[in-house]
Structure 1
């Protein structure tokens, strides 16, 4: 794989790269419509494939928050054409790494020493390269270590990247008139992810709180070999969760991994009220004994009680069967507004009732089988229905508290991982870990 010697960090450089990517996408559309004149039966499959490749190629050179957007979109399997999902999934743990000279320079800049001055051995070639940093293997006093190095200039470019993405997001998701707090929430989380000292403290806290969960393992972290741009932790042996999902693992093995993952998230959400908000397969490994290994805690989301309580109350069967009570919870969650018209209240009440009636099926069950495609198909059908809803397009899509952004992202990401694992899990099993 080609290595990168520099990353565009200035606003002009990054805008230029995005503009050039847009020109390529525009060319793809012109080519598609030209060919469609000759062949009216031509589908958009090739167009989607070309656009996905050009967009990903542009984002992977920018890295940082721009590439993080692709990573987040890769989890939205029901919202994007498959060609985009396939291409953007590469951003989870397979993008062009920094060259060895730039790695040494980065290490010297942020740690005041070259890596070989700290470790007994240090591999100049990265093992994994993702959106914010890349991982190298090292050895110290006989211990195998993973050293994550943050790309230079990533934190400094976040605000400008968000400013570039904002008008596109407003148009794509019908957020006209939206509050800046939505975008501020995303920006704040991305800035937190670039604070490696914060990540180490969060990681060590999660490990302490969740070590009681069966079949769940974590690396040890080494603050003495870390800085605000470098994290050193144990090297953990295992395969990425995506590899496990595509393997010939037995149903018993799948159920074990799936149960551990489910318990891990439910315990964090319901006990700690703070959880790992980046559930993609690049953040998890599975070892030879079927233990789940969690290796990245850069993105953590805290749920305040005034959101947590109505969020889960609105999802109960009693709420779904009592429209007046259901509607009161929608107001608490800022989905309905006191300024809404009668038509808006009726439309969004019916819409969210239909969504939650499907979305909450797993958490209302005693045992849920994620290998059954019915649930996934129902979500996909709803996504397609609302994507093509002309009434919804005319209405202001700015709905709900800012906390929905990462809470919903986490549930959608968790569901997608559970679909891929194809596990049957006991939904309330996590309660045995509660105090």
Structure 2
């Protein structure tokens, strides 16, 4: 694994990295437009022209994705967290770019041993050699705001020690401003990108979550809480070593297994896929409806398939509590989504649920909902409702999450009056779950109602 000798922490150094990437993207896109215009001018066969254009666009997006990933890997922190987020958002980025950004989930160049040693001394008051019986100075995993090392405590506990990148908290605000410019330029390179305000909303939420994630004491509390409260069989949550953990160092039980991508490379059979998919589904809905607190970062790098096929869950820095009102309103809405979008009935009940969830103001009447809002939402509503039509669903048949179709008016956005504060985080986690189950190709029981707690 290549090692980064120095983490860029100053605004100037990070601006230089981003500026260089912006220039390269701009030049590459300009060259692509020239080639596209030349090809169109000299093409005689319309079908061949269309095919060549599609291939050229895909190749261009792959090259842009490579450039974006390179700069995000250098910046780390907020940048990588954004990369992870966008890799899961099927309606945000084209598939060719998302596939490249997925590698940001758990394949980031680590910092060198000198910086690790310095961080250990500052946080725990001693060097790794004095703190641990054994400590592997080479990280086995590098993620958005920290990297993980294997270690053995003096009590012979096998540990995964997460070390936060130095200066990470100081880069959040500057990164958000630079990355907004970077992705706005990216939007100009392909027709498959949303409007600028979408990125603005995404970046604002990342800022809120990162303020929690950079404090490893918060993650330690989350690990302990979920470890005590999680009663599902087959779910394993690492135990925290409190004596070897601080705000920027987190030592926890080492879980040995494979990330989902690696596990899938080994071609598991359908029964294995079903069993793992059921664990993922049950973990999400048990957390949401019984515990009313969700692990809000469901990308492949945060799940391990253990040797006994149990599911190891990692990275509890991003956790979201759900209010009783939100949970009640959302679960009441789900059957109405199926009725309205799948079977085209009971639209008034769905309208009432949208008002309860604060999507639509009470000043909006049903006729407006039916004529201007419902048509824009039906594509996503049908996609969401697919998995919940019956008590089982085969995710090998699930269609990709739709972006905005060309024939919708966009009127629905005009009537959006607000939402519960936990809605964006819940939606992203739910979407991440759907994408993971589709990637696995699981055929599972999707009756989430068994996790609703009686009052």
TM-score (norm 2): 0.85
Aligned-pair CA distance for 1:361: 2.4
8 Å Cα contact 1:319-1:325 kept in structure 2: no
Selected match of 1:217 from 233, 236, 246:
236
Aligned residue for 1:285, secondary structure, equals strand
Aligned residue for 1:125, secondary structure, equals coil
Aligned residue for 2:88, secondary structure, equals coil
C-alpha distance 217-229 of structure 1, shift in aligned 2 (>3 A): same
**Counterparts of residues 22-421 of structure 1 (less than 5 Å):** 22-40=22-40, 41=49, 42=52, 43-77=56-90, 79-140=92-153, 141-165=155-179, 173-174=194-195, 184-210=204-230, 212-317=231-336, 320=340, 321-337=345-361, 346-371=371-396, 373=397, 375-377=398-400, 379=401, 382-383=402-403, 386-389=404-407, 391-392=409-410, 396=414, 400-401=418-419, 402-421=421-440
C-alpha distance 23-343 of structure 1, shift in aligned 2 (>3 A): farther
Aligned residue for 2:277, secondary structure, equals helix
Aligned-pair CA distance for 1:130: 1.2
Separation in structure 1 between the aligned mates of residue 287 and residue 101 of structure 2, nearest angstrom: 28
RMSD over aligned CA atoms reads 2.9
Separation in structure 1 between the aligned mates of residue 150 and residue 279 of structure 2, nearest angstrom: 27
8 Å Cα contact 2:320-2:425 kept in structure 1: yes
The equivalent residue for 1:3 is: 3
Aligned-pair CA distance for 1:183: 5.4
8 Å Cα contact 2:109-2:142 kept in structure 1: yes
C-alpha distance 430-390 of structure 1, shift in aligned 2 (>3 A): closer
Separation in structure 1 between the aligned mates of residue 66 and residue 272 of structure 2, nearest angstrom: 35
Separation in structure 2 between the aligned mates of residue 307 and residue 167 of structure 1, nearest angstrom: 34
The equivalent residue for 2:45 is: none
Aligned-pair CA distance for 1:70: 0.6
Separation in structure 2 between the aligned mates of residue 333 and residue 433 of structure 1, nearest angstrom: 18
Which shifted more, 413-422 or 237-246? Answer: 237-246
8 Å Cα contact 1:93-1:282 kept in structure 2: yes
Separation in structure 2 between the aligned mates of residue 65 and residue 370 of structure 1, nearest angstrom: 32
Aligned-pair CA distance for 1:168: 7.2
Which shifted more, 343-352 or 216-225? Answer: 343-352
Separation in structure 2 between the aligned mates of residue 414 and residue 425 of structure 1, nearest angstrom: 13
Aligned-pair CA distance for 1:395: 5.7
Aligned-pair CA distance for 1:397: 9.2
Q: Which runs of 5+ in 2 are unaligned?
A: 41-48, 188-192
Aligned-pair CA distance for 1:2: 2.7
8 Å Cα contact 1:174-1:397 kept in structure 2: no
Aligned residue for 2:256, secondary structure, equals coil
Aligned residue for 2:438, secondary structure, equals helix
TM-score (norm 1): 0.89
8 Å Cα contact 2:78-2:144 kept in structure 1: yes
The equivalent residue for 2:190 is: none
Separation in structure 2 between the aligned mates of residue 258 and residue 309 of structure 1, nearest angstrom: 25
| Superimposed CA distance per residue, residues 24-64 of structure 1 (whole angstroms, 9 cap, x where no aligned partner) | 11011111122223323442122111111111111111101
C-alpha distance 192-235 of structure 1, shift in aligned 2 (>3 A): same
Separation in structure 2 between the aligned mates of residue 267 and residue 330 of structure 1, nearest angstrom: 23
Q: Which runs of 5+ in 1 are unaligned?
A: none
Q: How many residues align?
A: 426
Separation in structure 2 between the aligned mates of residue 351 and residue 77 of structure 1, nearest angstrom: 17
Aligned residue for 2:65, secondary structure, equals helix
Separation in structure 1 between the aligned mates of residue 202 and residue 4 of structure 2, nearest angstrom: 33
8 Å Cα contact 1:132-1:151 kept in structure 2: yes
Which shifted more, 158-167 or 123-132? Answer: 158-167
Separation in structure 2 between the aligned mates of residue 390 and residue 350 of structure 1, nearest angstrom: 7
8 Å Cα contact 2:92-2:194 kept in structure 1: no
8 Å Cα contact 1:267-1:430 kept in structure 2: no
8 Å Cα contact 1:258-1:418 kept in structure 2: yes
Separation in structure 2 between the aligned mates of residue 74 and residue 220 of structure 1, nearest angstrom: 29
